[in-house]
Amino acid sequence: NAGVTQTPKFRILKIGQSMTLQCTQDMNHNYMYWYRQDPGMGLKLIYYSVGAGITDKGEVPNGYNVSRSTTEDFPLRLELAAPSQTSVYFCASSFGGYTEAFFGQGTRLTVV
């Protein structure tokens, strides 16, 4: 049972480059989330989705975009990478209200 799978695990980007962080889940969860984890700052919600075709902004959406064309996939797009986007990114999914969130292993992104 794979759960939530994120790729890549590590990536180094140059300023201005673009990339997509992939996230897929096999639990048929409607809700999916993207968080970033900065040292001493906890997890901040970037974007979330309550179902295919529906996305919404979280606390820190600037510089990111998402799409949700299927229930399983929720990719996060960085269009013009900036050093401030250096962080660890976590994807998560859940059935919905008041239920447990399952997390991916994280993607460590460095922008230089």
Residues of this chain that bind another protein (CB under 8 A): 31, 33, 35, 40-45, 48, 50, 56, 58, 90, 92, 94, 96-101, 103-106
CB of 46 to another protein, least distance (A): 11
Cβ(35)–Cβ(59) below 8 Å: no
User: How far apart are the C-alpha atoms of 63 and 76, rounded to whole Å?
Assistant: 10
User: How far apart are the C-alpha atoms of 13 and 73, rounded to whole Å?
Assistant: 23
CB of 89 to another protein, least distance (A): 12
CB of 90 to another protein, least distance (A): 7
